[in-house]
Amino acid sequence: MGTMAVTPPEAVTVRVPAKVNLDLRVGPRRPDGYHDLATVLQAVSLYDEVSVARWDDWQVVPSGSYAALIPTDDSNLALRAARLLADRFQITEALSVRIDKDIPVAGGMAGGSADAAATLLACDQLWGLGLEREDLLLLAAELGSDAPFPLLGGTAIGTGRGEQLAPALARGRVHWVFAISDTGLSTPSVYAECDRLRDDAPAPQVGAQLMTALRAGDPKALGAALHNDLEPAVFSLRPGLRELRDAGVEFGALGAVVSGSGPTVAFVTDSREAALDLSVSLAASDLSRDLRRAKGPVHGAQVVAVPRPD
């Protein structure tokens, strides 16, 4: 067979999912300021799309539902991801990074990290670097504890800072309702509040009941086993969220939990209809104005479009 000339793509678009923590156990604060975690993560069907294209200068172009909340300076994690890769591979050209944002910002659903993960994958394709998934996971971990998981997707157990991942055996699908807050919470401030509220913490370990529920594909047992050690800290900073969580359970959710460092509250149901009913009840209660439905688990980051010049 002859070899075909490969023309490098002009632009690459990657679609990347949000995450929810089904379980988040937080160990003591380490000397480096991080906390040892044991967490169970699930990718859910709320997506950002990140497109990278060659450009005269580095730039971030925000679009989508939460465009106004995306930083366009050097603090943008997607921009940092592209520059990290350029640095590592001595690439001198600049890129335009368009972020079409549908994942809530600063909500505990790893939106910024998802964009960083998507950018790594998109740049790998654009620049033809041929990186293995393992390489991408290691690069992602340099950008943030939550950045590797969106590359993997599905349901996974995270240890270390949360960045060391192992796929979890999970059957079936669940239907989520997410109550999004108007204003986000900063992750470091939530961890600091967690440390302030408690004296000591045991070595973190994910709940056995949750793992059994996932293996069995039992949404009711899964709902009952949702857990987050950061919840007391999030409720201390945002007391109204406790009421929101309790209302969702009263309205028929099989379980409720703050996702990651919040303030998004996640409710689990076993069908599309149940999720729709629940979001209608929550909307009527006036406890949350921005409600989103999604299913999980879903695949990790995927290339969706690679337009090539004719």
Out of 66, 149, 178, 191, the residue judged to bind ligand C5P by CB under 6 A: 191
Q: Is 139 in the site for ligand C5P (CB under 6 A)?
A: no
Round to whole Å and give the CA distance between 85 and 142.
11
Q: Is 187 in the site for ligand C5P (CB under 6 A)?
A: yes
Strands 227-228, 155-160: pairing kind:
unpaired
Q: According to CB under 6 A, which residues from 67 to 126 bind ligand C5P? A: none
In the complex, least distance from residue 159 CB atom to ligand C5P, rounded to whole angstroms: 10
| Catalytic member of 48, 146, 218, 229 | 146
Residue 19: active-site member:
yes
Residue 200: active-site member:
no
Span interacting with ligand C5P, options 128-136, 140-148, 171-179, 291-299, rule CB under 6 A: 140-148
Out of 13, 42, 119, 145, the residue judged to bind ligand C5P by CB under 6 A: 145
DSSP state of 299: B
Whether residue 247 contacts residue 280, with contact meaning beta carbons closer than 8 Å, is answered with no
Q: Is 37 in the site for ligand C5P (CB under 6 A)?
A: yes
Strands 35-55, 11-29: pairing kind:
antiparallel
47 or 191, CB closer to ligand C5P? 191
Span interacting with ligand C5P, options 88-96, 124-132, 187-195, 282-290, rule CB under 6 A: 187-195
Q: Is 251 in the site for ligand C5P (CB under 6 A)?
A: no
Cα–Cα distances in Å, from 144 out to 89, 140, 187, 301? 20, 7, 11, 16
Q: Is 144 in the site for ligand C5P (CB under 6 A)?
A: yes
DSSP state of 153: B
Rg value, the chain, Cα: 20
Whether residue 147 contacts residue 163, with contact meaning beta carbons closer than 8 Å, is answered with yes
Round to whole Å and give the CA distance between 181 and 107.
7
Out of 54, 161, 242, 295, the residue judged to bind ligand C5P by CB under 6 A: 161
Span interacting with ligand C5P, options 32-40, 49-57, 225-233, 293-301, rule CB under 6 A: 32-40
In the complex, least distance from residue 33 CB atom to ligand C5P, rounded to whole angstroms: 6
155 or 261, CB closer to ligand C5P? 261
> Which runs of consecutive H residues, i.e. helices, occur in 165-271?
187-197, 208-216, 219-225, 231-237, 240-250
Tokens of 86: 């350029």
Round to whole Å and give the CA distance between 85 and 80.
9
Cα–Cα distances in Å, from 298 out to 62, 113, 156, 205, 266? 24, 17, 12, 24, 16
Q: Is 162 in the site for ligand C5P (CB under 6 A)?
A: yes
Out of 35, 83, 175, 245, the residue judged to bind ligand C5P by CB under 6 A: 35
H or E element, residue 188:
helix 187-197
Q: Is 34 in the site for ligand C5P (CB under 6 A)?
A: yes
- Contacting positions for ligand C5P (CB under 6 A): 33-35, 37, 144-146, 161-162, 187-188, 191
- Residues with a catalytic annotation lie at 19, 146
